Structure formats: structure tokens, C-alpha cells
Amino acid sequence: DVFAPVMSLLAAEDDEHALQLAAQSGYGLGASIFSRDAARATALACGLNVGVVVINDVIAPTADARLPFGGRLR
């Protein structure tokens, strides 16, 4: 949510821990998940409370200007 070329990396013990870390953040504009396991990545994406989630991609190149783009609802 910085709108700059910044990436934060946090080490997580497993998927559940990753979801807990994400839930602790006060921001939720978007997320990118990278995985070889599409079903696991989809399940993880469904557990995130963010505005946009992409799998094996980054948000900026896939954004569609015709669609609303925003953060999560609190």
C-alpha cells in the first residue's frame, strides 16, 4: 500500500501463520501469491482480507482500469 517499488517479506512457518501475519496488518490493498500448487494458492487467497489477490503474478500489470480498485472493508 506504499505505491512505490517496495516489497515487504515476512517469514511464515506455514500457510496459517502467513494468514495470521497478513491479518495483523492495517493495510489490505492487494496481495500476490506465488506457488506451484494452484489449489493451495487459491485456498490461501480465499483466506486473505484484501482488495485484490493475484496468483503467480503481480497486481500492477494485471490491473484493469475498467474495474474498481481499492482496499479491503474493515
**pLDDT tens-digit readout, 3-61:** 666 667 889 999 999 999 999 987 777 888 999 999 999 999 999 988 888 899 886 65
What pLDDT, on a 0 to 100 scale, did the predictor assign at position 9? 81
pTM of the model: 0.70
Q: Which residues contact 71 (CB under 8 A, 6 or more apart)?
A: 1, 27, 28, 29, 50, 51
What pLDDT, on a 0 to 100 scale, did the predictor assign at position 42? 96
What pLDDT, on a 0 to 100 scale, did the predictor assign at position 70? 62
Evaluate if residue 68 carries a pLDDT over 80: no
